[in-house]
């Protein structure tokens, strides 16, 4: 296998891993970070404390970081730790740091390093002073995808006039920006710019950031966000108080990605139906966000958000589009384990919770009819259903024991 093949394989594997992540042990609990971004020097200075929960039952801890990261110190409990660097890569431009597990005291590890923004090779995320975008694909923070979803709290110092958007609750004081993310996920995405434009929809519940969209696209996106929000608001009622940040770039990259409450969406010359669907899924999460994100119960968030996006598109584009989306779901879930299988094995599989969850809702809608199904969705939201046992109880009370058994069968299929 030559280098290009290897690289392609690694890059492919990250997409597969991200979409069908299997977590055997939840190992990183959270990151606390102090970050300084210097645009003139094109450098990020970083100071992370990683808390493990609990430490995996293995001899060593392995973290991947950009190969150009200049590590000044790794310590635990204020004692410097020896570490080994391996050539092993996960995203194709990183290196692996290996630490003896016994060196880590109180499950906490501190890593200080600097990271040159010029060293980013991924064409999608090459340094651009107008739109600096850091995430898992740039290996800007030490990570190991096998260690599961995590929370983070970071403090970021930016050059004057620069603004920061991210996944999480963002606040700002005189000298720095803070991001707090309490919904566990696999990434710490940051986008910086000194000249973001912003459309604020629904009193700031949804904010769309971009640099330069032509006025036609600006209008289309604003209308789509409004229409999608209003459609779900109409059938489900008031959403839960979470926010959504939508960052739109026109770099026509091969990749768009979604994190909790955050989307980085790349568009080319126009805003496609696929872009609309991604947007609709994320808008769905303004309602579907009550189950625990770190477990198989996440299907109540992901499956419902995904099916909501399909309903939004059905409303706009009609039955043909709907049939196409259902056929796509059927293809995706072929050969996947059941939702209850995840429960049994205490694992997460993003494809199962998202697409099997959505397909289950499709089958339920088929069984009980569209009108009853819409009422059911509304009740699930308004009763603040947080787990599957509550959902089954609700199905039993609202739709009868036979339908409850039907849903249980589907959870096992
Ligand atoms: Zn989602």
Centre of ligand 1 from the C-alpha of residue 196, in Å: 25
- Give residue 106 CA to ligand 1 midpoint distance, Å: 33
The Å distance, Cα 167 to ligand 1 centre, comes to 13
Report pLDDT for 109: 96
What pLDDT score was predicted for residue 4? 37
Pairing assessment for the beta strands 94-100 and 70-76 based on DSSP bridges:
unpaired
Q: How far is the CA of 349 from the centre of ligand 1 (A)?
A: 13
Q: What pTM value is reported for the model?
A: 0.80
In what helix (H) or strand (E) does residue 109 lie, and over which residues does it extend?
strand 108-116
Q: What's the 75 CA to ligand 1 centre distance in angstroms?
A: 35
Tally helices (H) and strands (E) across the chain.
11, 19
Cα of 339 vs centre of ligand 1, distance in Å, is: 16
Ligand 1 centre to CA of 165 (Å) is 19
- Ligand 1 center to residue 261 CA distance, Å? 9
CA of residue 168 to ligand 1 center, whole Å: 14
Q: Name the residues around ion ligand 1, CB cutoff 5 A.
A: 302, 305
Q: In whole angstroms, what is the distance from residue 224 CA to residue 325 CA?
A: 19
Distance (Å) from CA 195 to ligand 1 centroid: 28
- pLDDT of 14 reads 43
> If we measure between CA atoms, which residue out of 243, 248, 202, 209 comes closest to residue 225?
202
Rounded to the nearest angstrom, the distance between the alpha carbon of 213 and the centre of ligand 1 is 25
Helices (H), 295-387: 299-317, 319-333, 339-345, 350-351, 357-368, 370-382
Q: Going by C-beta distance under 8 Å and a sequence separation of 6 or more, which residues neighbour residue 54?
A: 27, 107
Q: Please answer whether residues 179 and 166 qualify as being in contact, where contact means their C-beta atoms are separated by less than 8 angstroms.
A: yes
State in Å: Cα 76 to ligand 1 middle: 35
Cα of 306 vs centre of ligand 1, distance in Å, is 7
pLDDT digit of tens for each residue in the chain (413 aa)? 333 333 443 443 344 444 444 444 558 999 999 999 999 999 999 999 999 987 767 788 999 999 999 999 999 999 999 999 999 998 999 999 999 989 999 999 999 999 999 999 999 999 999 999 999 999 999 999 888 789 999 999 999 999 999 999 999 998 899 999 998 888 999 999 999 999 998 888 899 999 988 888 889 999 999 999 999 999 999 887 678 899 999 898 888 888 888 989 888 777 889 889 988 998 998 899 888 876 899 999 999 999 999 999 999 999 999 999 999 999 999 999 999 999 998 877 889 999 999 999 999 999 999 999 999 999 999 999 999 999 999 999 999 999 999 999 999 99
Predicted local distance difference test score (pLDDT) of residue 56: 62
**Interval between CA 1 and ligand 1 midpoint (Å):** 35
Question: Mind listing the domains of the chain with CATH numbers?
Answer: 3-193 (2.60.40.1730), 202-283 (3.30.2010), 296-412 (1.10.390.10)
Compute the distance between CA of residue 380 and CA of residue 116 in angstroms, rounded to an integer: 48
Cα–ligand 1 centroid distance for 356 (angstroms): 13
């Amino acid at each position: 296998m030559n280098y290009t093949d290897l690289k392609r394989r690694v890059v492919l594997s990250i997409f597969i891993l991200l979409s069908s992540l299997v977590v055997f042990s939840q190992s990183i609990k959270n990151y606390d970070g102090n970050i300084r971004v210097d645009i003139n020097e094109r450098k990020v200075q970083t100071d992370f404390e990683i808390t493990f929960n609990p430490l995996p039952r293995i001899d060593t801890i392995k973290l991947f970081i950009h190969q150009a990261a200049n590590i000044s110190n790794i310590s635990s409990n204020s004692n410097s730790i020896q570490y080994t660097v391996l050539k092993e890569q996960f995203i194709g431009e990183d290196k692996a740091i290996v630490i003896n597990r016994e060196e880590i005291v109180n499950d906490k590890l501190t890593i200080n390093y600097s990271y040159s923004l010029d060293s980013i090779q991924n064409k999608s995320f090459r340094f651009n002073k107008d739109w600096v975008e850091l995430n898992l694909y740039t290996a800007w923070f030490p990570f190991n995808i096998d260690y599961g979803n995590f929370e983070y709290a970071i403090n970021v110092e930016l050059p004057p006039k620069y603004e920061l958007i991210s996944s999480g609750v963002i606040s700002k004081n005189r000298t720095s920006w803070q991001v707090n993310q309490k919904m566990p996920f696999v990434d710490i995405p940051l986008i910086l710019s000194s000249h973001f434009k912003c459309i604020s929809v629904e009193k700031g519940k949804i904010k769309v950031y971009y640099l330069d969209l032509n006025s036609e696209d600006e209008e289309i996106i604003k209308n789509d966000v409004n229409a999608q929000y209003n459609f779900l608001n109409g059938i489900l009622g008031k959403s839960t108080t979470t926010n959504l940040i939508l960052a739109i770039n026109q770099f026509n990259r091969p990749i768009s990605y979604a994190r909790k409450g955050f989307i980085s969406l790349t568009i080319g010359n126009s805003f496609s139906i696929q872009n609309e669907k991604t947007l609709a899924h994320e808008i769905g999460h303004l309602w579907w966000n009550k189950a625990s994100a770190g477990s198989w119960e996440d299907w109540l968030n992901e499956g419902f958000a995904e099916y909501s996006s399909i309903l939004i598109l059905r409303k706009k584009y009609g039955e043909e589009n709907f049939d196409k989306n259902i056929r796509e779901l059927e293809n995706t879930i072929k050969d996947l384990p059941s939702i209850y299988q995840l429960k049994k094995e205490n694992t997460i599989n993003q494809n199962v919770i998202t697409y099997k969850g959505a397909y289950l809702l499709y089958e339920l809608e088929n069984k009980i009819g569209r009108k009853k199904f819409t009422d059911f969705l509304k009740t699930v939201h308004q009763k603040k259903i947080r787990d599957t046992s509550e959902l089954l109880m609700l199905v039993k009370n609202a739709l009868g024991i036979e339908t409850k058994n039907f849903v249980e069968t589907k959870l096992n299929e």
